[in-house]
Structure 1
Amino acid sequence: MEELNSTSNISSPGQPHPVSWDSKLAIVVVLSLCFALGVPGNIAVIIIKPNWQHLSNLSQILMLNLAMSDLLCLSTLPLWSYTILYTWTFGLVACKLVSYLVHCSVYGSLLTVTALSVQRYIQVVDLQGCSYQTEKRWLLVLLWLVAMILSIPVLVTHQVLTDQHWARCQPHYSSLAQQVVVLVIESLMGFISFSVVASAYIQLHRKVHQAAFFNNPRMTWLVTSIIVTFLVLRMPYPIVNMLGVAAVTVKNEDLLKFYLHSWNITGALIFVNSCLNPLLYAFASRNKCTLCQKKHVVIAEARLS
């Protein structure tokens, strides 16, 4: 994600904060790996649609939307890698539009993961969930509408700032209050999404163990991996944002410096999550179809008996 512009001095928001060459190089390496692995992976998911034939229409639409939103996000990585190492030369309009596109795709991916967790819980726990077909395409419209609304602050705050002939496309807050509001909104979305995802999969995990024909070690691994991956790669970003809010509010210079140095790293982890999503959810579809088949067998045997 684009380099952070925040304050190196709490009393003067929006001033560029220098990043060491080693830090820049490490971030670019991570982003390059995410692009090299995530773009082909998401394209393969979109084209091949692995083991999707037994999924409901809504599940297929959500999984396709997840791959497309992640692909959209990852496709901007070469641009950010270039500007991190060199400078921004594409103008203010491009800065705002590309930043808005990235944030829309990140929010779209976040909301899709949340919707998928709820959908998976309903379909696995409900005995008729695997055969139930729905055409709620309006959900995608609502999902992207929310993502676009949540990304509007980017159009206001992102500017092209120049420091010693070095131009960067990054947030520039006009006041501390504006910075706090933006960071709080981003953090709340992360915490709410994680709470829904964790609750859905924890409840699903309990249901799986309550039913003998759901007791599948691969399902247990899947539930654990999704929660842990989401926690490790997504949650540091809103946590660091809240540290930034605390630093600005209490005017703590040391906490602010930690926030500034951590922001780029936690932003890069979001791209890592987008890179891993096609692997996790392709595996999820495979396991859910297996569970569906087991449920139908058990139901059929119960009726025959």
Structure 2
Amino acid sequence: MTSMDDTMNITTFTTEDLSSISPSPTTDEDYYDYQDLLCDRASVRAFRGWYEPPLFWMIALVGGAGNLTVVWIFLNFRRRLKTMSDVYLLNLAVADLLFLFTLPLWAAEASHGWSFGSALCKLNSALYKVNLFSSTLLLTCISVDRYVVIVQTTKAQNSQVERRRCSRLVCIGVWLMALLLAMPEFVFATTTNVESQLYCRMLFPAHLGNRTKILVLSLQVSMGFCLPGIIMAFCYSVIIATLLKTRNFQRHKAMRVILVVVVVFIVSQLPYNGVLVMEAAQASNMTMTDCKEMKRFNMVGQVLKSVAYMHACLNPFLYAFVGVRFRQDVLQLLRCCVQPQTIKSQLSKTSRSPLSSTRASVMSDSDTSQVLSL
């Protein structure tokens, strides 16, 4: 370990400094106070080495299969996107896929360090954040669209063309916002040696102080959870109140769908964002000083991070596969896989059939139950 006097003379952390740092070098904004250097976290890195790779590969494979199915159906069974939610769902699937593509690299790093170079380190870190923010913002857009369709039904029906055009502009804005929020990864992500192994980490120059880490963590929590969560809570609360006033026999199904969506979002995202808030507090005033306590906190953070990542696997089932038409499209896709020669005839029938084009779509603009993907 480098002496404290030597450490004080550098502007970024050296290899010796980094040998004792936190377990989650892939995506967490890692700036460490000198007191952290007194805690050897090799056991935490070992925990990450056996825990993350199989779980990340499972999330990547399951989520990849689900989201690829969504994209394939949109591109092959639906010649054009008919509703705002169709546009949001396609962009959500693409965002989740791009995020899932980063997980094998993080799994490889957890096993034997980062061996893909500094440029890919920056790209992979930024890609993770771009799709973290874009996915959450797109889920917010879907909740707003459901609100408009159910609570302001007449307005929604009279402005379908304008709303579809608006949805494309909103998606462009979402991606640009996500790119902007991911700029710290482009700037600060880099590779560094930790006990003779390279790792990809967020390293802040010492002269910037802890405020940079606190700012980055605050942006992630506020834009990646708090603001979207508040908007989603408002929209779904008003939707439930509206459904309670209707006599539609499917309203109970609709409310169950809403409840599942909200519960899954809170259960998967709230605990890990709580960890990020505690990390910001730690960077601000060193709330934890005991080494064993810090190592337990790091391990818990890894587990909760994995739970948050599972949301990318669940999105296709929560927002697409629960839809009547989407389920039928999936069955049709399976039949096409079993009998490849029927693909052209099936696609032709789908594009010609008026029933297919008017059937209840995922969150269709015409009916409450259809809007909620029942």
Offset at 1:198? 1.7
1:31 aligns with 2:62: no
Q: Where does residue 68 of structure 2 map in the other structure?
A: 43
What do the CA deviations read for 1:39-84 (whole angstroms, capped 9, x no partner)?
A: 0100111112499899853211111000010011101221111111
CA distance in 2, matches of 1:130, 1:280: 24
Distance change in 2, residues 1:102/1:233 (3 Å)? same
Partner of residue 183, structure 1? 217
Aligned residue in 1 for 2:279: 244
Distance 2:369 2:30 in 1: 53
Match among 227, 230, 245 for residue 192 of structure 1: 227
Aligned to 1:202: 237
The answer to whether the aligner puts 1:282 opposite 2:308 as a matched pair is no
In the TM superposition, residue 168 of structure 1 has moved relative to its aligned partner by: 0.7
Kindly report which structure 2 residues correspond to 1:267-278, keeping only aligned pairs within 5 A, or say none. Answer: 267-278=305-316
Kept after mapping to 2: 8 A contact 1:55/1:289: no
Question: Which structure 1 segments of 5+ residues have no match?
Answer: 297-305
For 1:272, give the aligned amino acid: M
Query: TM-score of the superposition, structure 2-length normalised?
Result: 0.71
Letter paired with 1:6: D
Which residue identity does 1:111 align to in structure 2? L
The amino acid across from 1:155 in the alignment is F
Which SS does the other structure have where 2:195 is aligned? coil
How many residues are matched? 295
Report whether the alignment pairs 1:96 with 2:131: no
Structure 1 residues 132-188: Cα deviation after superposition (integer angstroms, max 9, x where no partner): 232122111111110000000112221212111011102123321211111111111
Aligned 8 A contact 1:54 1:289 in 2? no
**For 2:41 and 2:144, how far apart are their aligned partners in 1?**
40
Tell me the residue number matched to 1:6: 30
Larger Rg: 1 or 2? 2
Q: Which residue of 2 aligns with 1:301?
A: none
Task: Please report the RMSD computed on the Cα atoms of aligned residues, expressed in angstroms.
Answer: 2.9
TM-score by length of 1: 0.86
Letter matched to residue 37 of structure 1: V
Q: Deviations over 1:197-219 (max 9, x none)?
A: 12211221111111112652221
Q: Kindly indicate whether the alpha-carbon contact (under 8 Å) linking 1:241 and 1:259 is maintained by their aligned counterparts in 2.
A: no
User: Is residue 29–residue 213 contact of structure 2 (8 Å, CA) maintained in 1?
Assistant: no
Which of residues 73, 77, 90 in structure 1 aligns to 2:103? Answer: 77
- Counterparts of 1:281 and 1:113 in 2: how far apart (Å)? 9
Contact kept in structure 2, 1:4 and 1:264, CA below 8 Å: no
Confirm or deny that 1:219 pairs with 2:254: yes
- Aligned partner of 1:261 in structure 2 is 299
Percent of pairs with identical residues? 23
Match in the other structure for 1:292: 366
Q: Would you say 1:124 and 2:150 are equivalent positions?
A: yes
Q: 1:68 aligns with which of 81, 88, 94?
A: 94
SS at 1:108's partner residue?
helix
* Greater displacement, 246-255 / 186-195: 246-255
1:93 Cα deviation (Å)?
Answer: 1.2
Match of 1:161 among 176, 192, 207: 192
* Distance in 1, Cα, partners of 2:54 & 2:240: 36
Give the ranges of 4+ consecutive aligned residues of structure 1 lying more than 6 Å apart after TM superposition.
Answer: 50-55
- Which deviates further from its counterpart, 283-292 or 66-75? 283-292
Aligned-partner SS, 1:212: coil
Change (3 A) 1:65 1:3: closer
> What is the identity, as a one-letter code, of the residue corresponding to 2:59?
C
Structure 2 gaps of 5+ residues are: 1-23, 325-359
1:4, CA displacement in angstroms? 4.3
Q: Hey, what does 1:150 align to over in structure 2? A: 181
Alignment of 1:131-146 (within 5 A): 132-133=160-161, 134=163, 135-136=165-166, 137-146=168-177
TM-fit CA distance, 1:261: 3.0
Give the SS at the match of 1:159: strand
Instruction: Tell me how far apart the structure 1 counterparts of residues 49 and 304 of structure 2 sit (CA, whole Å).
Output: 13
d(CA) in 2 for partners of 1:130, 1:285: 20
Letter in 1 for 2:215: V
Structure 1 residues 220 and 16, CA, compared in 2 at 3 Å: closer, same or farther? farther
Between 1:254-263 and 1:139-148, the stretch displaced more is 254-263
The question of 1:57 aligning with 2:83 is answered: yes
